[in-house]
Amino acid sequence: MSGRCCDFPTSGHQLWATDLESAHALRKAGGDVPEAPSGLCPWHVEGTCRLRDGRPLGCRLYFCDPAWTDLMPQVYERFHAELKALHVEAGLSYSYRRFVEAVRDPALLPSPPTNS
């Protein structure tokens, strides 16, 4: 909730997402990608997330509590495997890229299923 983890240039974090997640984020945002300083998530505004419903898995699982540090990769891998399976199920090619770059290049993203 502090928003510090979303400030990539300052925190040094990188957010990676499948193209299906990035396409879903774009759809939830109405196709609009706000302007933002280089490297910063376009939905990180005044320290808060303006894309709560469309944020990718990494945003949903990241928590800066040291007690969560060891478990977080295991949980991420479990749900990331489910995301990969969704690509196969939908007949989409799988790609995993930096989220900020992916949403700024929507021509490369698949059309997500319409029932979410």
- Give the footprint of ligand SF4 on this chain (CB under 6 A): 6, 15, 41, 43-44, 49, 51, 55, 59
Tell the smallest beta-carbon distance from residue 81 to ligand SF4 (Å). Answer: 21
Nearer to ligand SF4, 31 or 91 (CB): 31
Contacting residues for 43 by C-beta, under 8 A, at least 6 apart: 25, 29, 34, 49, 50, 51, 55
Nearer to ligand SF4, 65 or 89 (CB): 65
Nearer to ligand SF4, 48 or 88 (CB): 48
Nearer to ligand SF4, 49 or 72 (CB): 49
Tell the smallest beta-carbon distance from residue 8 to ligand SF4 (Å). Answer: 7
- Return the structure tokens found at 108: 């490369």
Q: HEC states along 83-104?
A: HHHHHHHHCCCCCEEEHHHHHC
Closest to 60 in 3D by CA, of 74, 47, 71, 76: 76
What's the rounded Cα separation, in Å, for the pair 116 and 102? 20
Tell the smallest beta-carbon distance from residue 98 to ligand SF4 (Å). Answer: 11
Tell the smallest beta-carbon distance from residue 93 to ligand SF4 (Å). Answer: 23
Residue with tokens 């540090």: 69
